Structure 1
Amino acid sequence: MEYLKRFLKSIGWIARGVDLLVAPLTIISGLSFRAMKFIGVKKFPINNSLFHKIGFFPIVNHYYEPQFDFKGYSQKIRHFEGIDFNAEAQLTLLHSFEYKQELDALPNVKSDGGGYFFNNGSFESGDAECYFSLIRKFKPKKIIEVGSGYSTLMAVEAIKLNRMEGEENMCTITCIEPYEMQWLSDIEVELLTQKVEDADLGLFEKLEAGDILFIDSSHIIRPEGDVLFEIFEILPRLRSGVLIHFHDIFTPLNYPEKWLKEEFRMWNEQYLLEAFLSHNAKFEVVLALSYLTIYHKQEVCDTFPVYAKDAGKTLGSFWIRRL
């Protein structure tokens, strides 16, 4: 299957021609898939087995299925009666960050020396600047990342500066990353190549006030999956004062229109997090970057200098704290 993935990526440049050639097959297979769904896939055991072996399963445009047809959809700001966005406290924290020179000193493109750079396509200006600033301000002793990569490199940069201010600012980073990130073993972190669902819950119970739990996992609610484990098993066990990050959370907006209409991402973590925070007196919103860029964009630009150069970018970091 891995060889097939590489082959398909290698022929991406001829995708339009392939698109035209396979269109008749898509019509035939699509109609047959829809008929199977209508009759019941369990009545087609051979095809059902093939679906599982290929790693593919058809869905249809029906209210019992995940939604993929957003033709009539337009993005709008949603309002929440049950969530206190803590706007004044967010702005107070934002105004307390004084790290513009340090952020400006970080490279935009990859350098020979390695380390973090902003134009990485994954964790860029705004979101990364916020992470850096929170580490610099709260000086955590422990950081646990569920899903790692460029965020880890940015954390390392901030921790270096904290340590220069005193050895009491030592910080350990634990990365829970089971997928395709073996290079993490080359930097100064503890790497756990396992699913977060298989991690020892005691690991999270050791986090103390000012420490960070950074979550950037699958974004999908599934039975026995990582998102449910994080919300229902990990968050309630955290001590007071622990900072928690969720990535790709665009509240009070929905997920970006392009993701829904063109890329067909069926992510739903955001809505579970919103439900979790509704009328929840044990957690508070610390920094919701999508919210801030809608209502207080100038303050965000004044705080994060690299983001200010491309302020049209959508930010997706959502920070909360256990009370």
Structure 2
Amino acid sequence: MLSRIAWRRFRFGLQTIMGLPARGFFIPYRYAESVPDTQPVYKELEAVFDAKQDVFTTFCQSLDEYADVFARFQDTPKWQQDWFPRLDGAAAYGLVRQHKPKTIIEVGSGHSTRFMAQAAKDAGLDCTQIAIDPFPRAKIKTLPITWQAELLNETHLTMFANLEAGDIAFFDSSHILMPGTDVDMILNRILPVLKKGVLIHIHDVLLPDPYPEQWLWRGYNEQNALGPMIANGAYDVVFASAYVATRMENMILQTKLADIPLFKGAVETSLWLMKP
């Protein structure tokens, strides 16, 4: 018997290749059999992240200032969830407190929205927070934000172009780069018009590691496009949850971040960049 995930893939694939309303993408590739099942660590990118260890350490240490606040998070926001866990939530909260954005625009929302809204409130910021998402992963209706229950589209481009240094462009998208997808619009239309100093967040990024094997059915390929942008210095790496969680565990243990519960099985995947 097919598992629930396998059956879903089969159903979506059948619809797509039969010309019914598409539920994904089918990409013919003659040499697909030559692609290894397991992808290696991107060593060239790893060197870029390695060079940022001091920056990551300083930032994590700075979050100790909010340890008492983090200890009070029980509901909105909360740590007991695996969508936006420990390092992701702490980093988002800390960066809002430290950079004091006047505007935050999120594509994809939920638990991240809660962390940033709480940070803006705690800092007493006059901050406009906009969430673009037809189906948030956590309830956000009661938060002091503007929720646009729709997919990212061309009407949003001007909003991003108007962001100023210190503001936040936050992306937790489909993670699938194909012509016309939200990732296509983010990488090729939004990022190029952002001003210098705008903080950029992209979720579900595990660089310099490949996507985990258990995620392969999702077809994510967003981070493969981000790699060259990081390697050539087009964007400065501010923080990388996945790298810190997998390669700097001893440093975390020396900070109060170690006191934050990490939901069982949760993967920390926030990547924060800045346009230099």
Identify the TM-score tier after normalising by the shorter chain: 0.7 to 0.9
Give the distance between the partners of 2:164 and 2:135, measured in 1 at CA: 28
Q: Which has the larger radius of gyration?
A: 1
| Secondary structure, aligned partner of 1:201 | helix
CA distance in 1, matches of 2:122, 2:163: 21
Query: Could you tell me whether the CA contact under 8 Å between 1:130 and 1:304 is conserved in 2?
Result: no
Residue aligned with 1:84, SS: helix
Q: Is 2:54 the counterpart of 1:88?
A: yes
Distance in 2 between residues matched to 1:58 and 1:202, nearest whole Å: 32
Q: Paired residue for 2:249, among 297, 300, 313?
A: 297
- Report the 3-state secondary structure (helix = DSSP H, G, I; strand = E; otherwise coil) of the residue aligned with 2:274: strand
Structure 1 residues 266 and 153: alpha-carbon distance in aligned structure 2, compared to 1, 3 A threshold: same
| Cα separation, 1, equivalents of 2:22 and 2:152 | 26
Unaligned regions of 5+ residues in structure 1, if any? 1-15, 34-46, 164-168
Matched with 1:63 is 31
Q: Secondary structure at the match of 1:245?
A: strand
For 1:250 and 1:201, how far apart are their aligned partners in 2?
A: 27
Matched, 1:132 2:93: yes
Listed one character per residue, the Cα deviations across residues 79-124 of structure 1 (whole Å, up to 9, x for unaligned) are 12697333322222222222111111111xx5xxxx2222233112
- CA gap of 1:286–1:231, structure 2 versus 1, over 3 A, is same
Give the unaligned 5+ runs of structure 2.
none
- RMSD, aligned α-carbons: 3.3
Deviation at 1:195, TM superposition (A): 2.2
After superposition, what is the alpha-carbon deviation per residue over 1:12-64, rounded to whole angstroms, capped at 9, x for unaligned?
A: xxxx5x76xxx9xx9xx9xxx8xxxxxxxxxxxxx988551484777789535
Distance 1:178 1:50 in 2: 27
Is 1:286 equivalent to 2:238 in the alignment?
yes
CA shift for structure 1 position 241: 1.1
What residue is the counterpart of 2:72 in the other structure?
105
Aligned length: 264
TM-score computed with the length of structure 2 as normaliser:
0.82
Paired amino acid for 2:182: D
Amino acid of the residue matched to residue 142 of structure 1? T
Distance 1:265 1:48 in 2: 15
Query: Does residue 238 of the first structure (1) align with residue 194 of the second (2)?
Result: yes
C-alpha contact 2:157 2:190 (8 A) present in aligned 1: yes
Contact 1:146–1:196 (8 Å) recurs in 2? yes
Quote how far apart the aligned CAs of 1:226 are.
0.8
Distance 1:304-1:204 versus aligned 2 partners, 3 A rule: same
Shift of 1:130: 1.3
Cα shift readout 1:133-175 (whole Å, capped 9, x = no counterpart): 1112222111110111111111121112111xxxxx2211011
- The structural deviation recorded for 1:187 is 2.4
Letter in 1 for 2:223: Q
TM-score when scaled to structure 1? 0.71
Call closer, same or farther: CA 1:83–1:192 in 2, change over 3 Å.
Answer: farther
Alignment of 1:34-53 (within 5 A): 50-53=18-21
1:58–1:300 CA distance, 2 compared to 1 (3 A): same
CA distance in 1, matches of 2:149, 2:262: 36
